[in-house]
Amino acid sequence: VDTCPCVGAAQRLLRAGLFPCAPSSPTLAVDLCVLQFIEMLALHTAPNVSAQTDTLEAYLYGMGYKL
């Protein structure tokens, strides 16, 4: 990501939909959609495959997909 003195790399990554893994000079970033999926998985998953499948379906439905 190109940066300039007026806007830091972390801000530019956030604007691009990526979460920087460091507040200054980040070298790694995670897609915000992936973070949303992980959050949903943690909130809805019981230790069984059915709950994981339901979570995946809910996430994909929220992204506009129909299964």
Query: pLDDT category, 33, cuts 50, 70, 90?
Result: very high
pLDDT at 18 over 80: yes
Higher pLDDT: 61 or 66? It is 61
By C-alpha distance, which of 62, 66, 44 is closest to 53?
44
**What does DSSP say about strands 18-20 and 29-31: parallel, antiparallel, or unpaired?**
antiparallel
C-alpha 55: how far from chain center: 15
SS (H, E, C) 41-53: HHHHCCCCHHHHH
Higher pLDDT: 47 or 38? It is 38
- Distance from C-alpha of 3 to C-alpha of 25, rounded to nearest angstrom: 10
Higher pLDDT: 47 or 32? It is 32
pLDDT at 1 over 70: no
Cα torsion angle, 8, 14, 18, 20, sign: positive
**What is the reported pLDDT for 42?**
81
